[in-house]
Amino acid sequence: MATSPTTAADLIPSDAPLERLASIAAGCTACDLHRTGTRTVFGEGAADARLLLVGEQPGDREDVEGRPFVGPAGRELDRALEAVGLGDVPQYRTNTVKHFKWSEQRGKRRIHEKPNRIEIQACLPWLQAELDRTSPDVLVLLGATAAQAVLGPETKVTRARGRLHVGPHGVPTVPTVHPSSVLRARSDADRVAARDAFQDDLAAVATLLEQGPRPLAEDATVAELRAMTAALDLTVPARTRKADLVDVVVGALPR
Using CB under 6 A, list all residues that contact ligand SF4. Answer: 8, 25, 28-31, 33-34, 40, 97-99, 119, 122-123, 126
Q: How far is the CB of 150 from ligand SF4 (least distance, A)?
A: 16
Residue with smaller CB distance to ligand SF4, 21 or 147? 21
Residue with smaller CB distance to ligand SF4, 146 or 160? 146
Q: How far is the CB of 35 from ligand SF4 (least distance, A)?
A: 8
Residue with smaller CB distance to ligand SF4, 119 or 224? 119
Q: How far is the CB of 23 from ligand SF4 (least distance, A)?
A: 12
Q: Which of 250, 194, 239 is nearest to 217 (CA)?
A: 250
138-142 vs 102-106, strand pairing mode: unpaired
Residue with smaller CB distance to ligand SF4, 64 or 185? 64
Q: How far is the CB of 114 from ligand SF4 (least distance, A)?
A: 13
Residue with smaller CB distance to ligand SF4, 98 or 226? 98
Q: How far is the CB of 160 from ligand SF4 (least distance, A)?
A: 25
Residue with smaller CB distance to ligand SF4, 70 or 86? 70
26 within 8 A of 40, measured Cβ to Cβ: yes
213 within 8 A of 172, measured Cβ to Cβ: yes
Which residues contact residue 75 at a Cβ distance below 8 angstroms, ignoring those fewer than 6 apart?
none
Dihedrals phi, psi of 56, to nearest 5 degrees: -90, -65
From the number of C-beta atoms within 10 Å of its C-beta (0-12, 13-18, 19+), residue 210 rates as exposed
52 within 8 A of 139, measured Cβ to Cβ: yes
Q: Which of 251, 164, 253 is nearest to 216 (CA)?
A: 164
Q: What is the chain's length? A: 255
SS3 161: coil
Q: How far is the CB of 57 from ligand SF4 (least distance, A)?
A: 8
